[in-house]
Structure 1
Amino acid sequence: MRPSVTRWKTTTAVLLRTAALSLLAAVAAAGVGAGPALAADGNVAWTVRTASNGYGEARSSYSYNVNPGGVVEDAMVVANRGPAPLNLAVYAADGFTTDAGQLDLLTRDKKSVAIGAWAKAGAGNVVIQPGKTAQVPFTISVPDNATPGDYVGGILTALTQANQTEGINVDRRLGIRIKLRVGGELKPNLAIEDLHVTYDGSSNPLSKGVATVTYKIHNIGNAALSGKQTLSVSGPFGVLRVRAGDIAAPPELLPGESWNVSVPVRGVAPAVRLAATATITPLLTDVSGSTTSLKPVQATAHGWALPWMLVLALVVLVAVVVGAYLYRRRNRAQRKAREDARVRDAVAQALGGREPQTS
């Protein structure tokens, strides 16, 4: 696998000094492969792979089960495919899931607290001649007080070169993933949080619209988990239920990580009050690669889905009815006032123009 590249430059200071730029290794779910990392001028290339030993041969990544206080010793093989000698830095770093759903590793300027702190290479640098390989040993020492559960990081090689054209330093990295499960009680658990449903209908009260359901999948356990998702939207009492199509599985989330989901559900009737139900079945993968489905987790949220044109028509109808009622009431009051005035005039005339007396 070829390493992906991420760059950054300083702002105005780039005119005065060399800026730092990091090209991050692409660490997929199965770990980094042995594809070459190429320098900007194409004159340097190297590969990395796992060493063949008691842990296995041709491994795509490193996976271990270790109890607190345990120690792991393993090695990485680095090959120089270029025409010039290589002086590579070697170090370990903690892993994290990016917004794109890929596993990445912290840069050297970021502090690691787990695998990046527990794993130490046999040497901080390795020099490899053209066409040669070198085996780089490393040791992972798990603290006695390490919390049980899954940890992910990586062992990395890095080459820093100056880019004369852009006036910056380029840090190229290539590494291999390390997945470590610390012994103890495993508590795999996913939660569905911040579930919301909104509705977008049309001007036709008889047509159907789109309900958009958003939520966050949060790994609140101590094991790395992915999952299968299902989603449905229904009206009151579960009527007019519509199920969403296939929903992409979230990436494998490390303990404490979360993943935002937004799913449009089409063909939803404007049933006034909607209920959106999201279900995720956690998937737990052990060190051997076997996957187990856990108990599904479910959450429900409600939202309004009003047929606005129908509501507007009802409002107009109510306004007309109320207006007609008030108009008739005012007319009755005016007629009564006119009748009362006529009676008073008649009585006054009968009394010879005198006002009637009241006692």
Structure 2
Amino acid sequence: MRRSTTLTNAALVVLLATVGTLAAVSPAAAEEADVSWGVRTAANDQGTDRQNFGYAIDPGASVADALVVSNHDTVPLDLALYGADGFTTEAGQLDVVTQDTESVALGAWIGFAADSVTVPAGESVEVPFTVTVPDNATPGDYAGAVITSLGQPSQEQGLSVDRRLGIRIHLRVGGTLAPALTVADMRVDYAGSLNPFAAGDATVTYTLENTGNARLTAGQKVTVEGPFGMLPADAETIKTAPELLPGESWEVTTRVAGVVPTFLLSATTVVTLESASSSAGDPAIAPVEATATTWAVPWALLVLLLLVAAIVVATILIVRRRRRTRKRREDERVDEAVQRALADREKELV
């Protein structure tokens, strides 16, 4: 059965690439070297006033749509057309692969009638395309984009500049949706203070891995505490995890201040998951929890205690020695007095 519906809550992605690197620009147009053009979604049976393209398609089915390319220049513009797979960058933004990188999923399923389009000066052209899902496609969420590209030689170091402008596509392939996320490689490190009465800082790191087939967003809470839950401390700020596509991962590092060294510390992270598609039919996702432990020896306090103990022991030893010295001297004085008394007695008897 073929089905094609528009997904909600999608965002427009406009891309500009220079020597293979993508950067966000204004939705209206990309301008460089007196060349300017813009792209937008076409108004048709798939929807109107859309920010981007979103579909739900069963394996083996396809959907037809179009984008509108507008030439804001005074000369005709020749643009390359292609589809590209999406991925999440280290900055947490959705990007797409460059034209010289082979797409293996959604980008490979996007087809145009031609691989280029000529847009007359000051005019707009509607460019049809199709998204065809293979029969053996794995159910779940995919991301990519339809791209218009202008390649030009650069004056700097002989590099070729590829400027791209495109619109994001979110696709859900029909089938069983199984959202899942794991917390991997979690660890906690503790850094104490030179002040024996001050708390230290704990650094908690872990990796969020989207192991399911739905794109997810994740809220996080990190707590560090001593044995039996004593003296807990929460991370005040945690870098927000971006929307993760199936198979993607995101490294998290957060600092927890005010951690009391209780010899053994436990760090716990609780990850609250939501489907990024915001579809009412998405299954509920239970929170994911992970823990890690580390030693947190209060060395400064122990050194202070050892110094105090050494002073106490030394004081006791000195006091005892003085007492023994006084007792010895008193005994010697008494013995001497006794000897004198005995000597005087012997003289009296003589």
Q: What is the CA distance between 1:127 and its match in structure 2?
A: 0.3
What are the within-5 Å matches in structure 2 for residues 10-49 of structure 1?
21-24=19-22, 26=24, 34-39=27-32, 41=33, 43-49=34-40
* C-alpha RMSD of matched pairs (Å): 2.5
Cα drift, residue 204 of structure 1: 1.5
Give TM-score scaled by structure 2 length: 0.80
Q: Report if the CA contact (8 A) 1:90-1:121 is conserved.
A: yes
Shift in Å at residue 130 of structure 1? Answer: 1.2
In structure 2, relative to structure 1, the CA distance for the partners of 1:141 and 1:33 (3 Å cut) is farther
Counterpart amino acid of 1:104? D
Asked if structure 2 preserves the Cα contact closer than 8 Å seen for 1:229 and 1:247, the reply is yes
CA pair 101-291 structure 1, distance change in 2 beyond 3 A: farther
Question: 1:281 and 1:287, CA in 2 relative to 1: closer, same or farther beyond 3 A?
Answer: closer
Deviation at 1:247? 2.5
What is the match of residue 270 of structure 2? 279
1:111 shift after superposition: 1.2
Please name the residue that 2:43 is paired with.
52
Correspondence for 1:76 among 63, 67, 87: 67
Give the C-alpha shift of residue 276 in structure 1. Answer: 0.4
Residue in structure 2 matched with residue 210 of structure 1 by the alignment: 201
CA distance in 2, matches of 1:201, 1:297: 29
1:312 aligned partner: 303
Offset at residue 300 of structure 1 (A)? 0.7
TM-score of the two chains, using structure 1 as the length reference? 0.79
Structure 2 distance, partners of 1:305, 1:271, is 6
The answer on whether the counterparts of 2:270 and 2:289 sit within 8 Å (CA) in structure 1 is yes
In 2 relative to 1, CA 173–228 (structure 1 residues): closer, same or farther, beyond 3 Å?
same
| Partner deviation per Cα, 1:127-175 (whole Å, 9 max, x = no partner) | 0111100011111110111111111111000001122354332110000
Counterpart code for 1:111: E
- Name the aligned partner's letter for residue 85 of structure 2: D
Alignment deviations for residues 309-358 of structure 1 (CA, whole Å, 9 cap, x no partner)? 123345668899999xxxxxxxxxxxxxxxxxxxxxxxxxxxxxxxxxxx
2:138 partner letter: T
Aligned counterpart in structure 2 of residue 149 of structure 1, from 112, 134, 140: 140
Partner amino acid, structure 2, of 1:139: T
Contact 1:229/1:281 (8 A) holds in 2: yes
SS at match of 2:66: strand
How many Å separate the matches in 2 of 1:172 and 1:145? 34
Q: List aligned pairs for 1:125-140, cutoff 5 A.
A: 125-140=116-131
Deviation string 1:187-243 (CA, Å, 9 cap, x unpaired) is: 101111111111111112211111111111010101100111111110111000111
Verify the 8 A CA contact 2:149 2:163 in the aligned structure 1. Answer: yes
Residue type at the aligned position of 2:246: P
Take 2:249 and 2:23, find their aligned partners in 1: how far apart are those partners?
22
Matched to 1:226, the amino acid is T
What SS does the aligned partner of 1:69 have? coil
Offset at 1:58? 1.2
Give me the whole-angstrom Cα distance separating, in 1, the residues matched to 2:171 and 2:26. 18
Aligned partner of residue 101 in structure 2, secondary structure: coil
Q: Which moved more, 1:128-137 or 1:309-318?
A: 309-318
Number of corresponding residues? 304
Is the counterpart of residue 180 in structure 1 residue 171 in structure 2? yes
Aligned letter for 1:157?
Answer: T
Q: 5 Å matches for 1:204-353? A: 204-286=195-277, 294-313=285-304
Partner secondary structure for residue 24 of structure 1: strand
Distance across 2 between alignment mates of 1:289 and 1:25: 33
**Compared CA separation, residues 307 and 266, structure 1 to 2 (3 A):** same
Contact kept in structure 2, 1:233 and 1:243, CA below 8 Å: yes
Give the conservation status (yes or no) of the 8 Å contact 2:188–2:293.
yes
Unaligned 5+ segments in structure 2 are 1-11, 315-350
After superposition, give the CA deviation of every residue in 1:249-307 in whole Å (9 maximum; x if it has no partner): 31110111000001111111111111100011111033759988621000011012211
Match of residue 327 from structure 1 = none
Instruction: Give the partner amino acid of 1:180.
Output: L
Structure 1 contact 3–24 (Cα < 8 Å) conserved: no
Where does structure 1 lack aligned partners over 5 or more consecutive residues?
Answer: 8-20, 27-31, 324-359
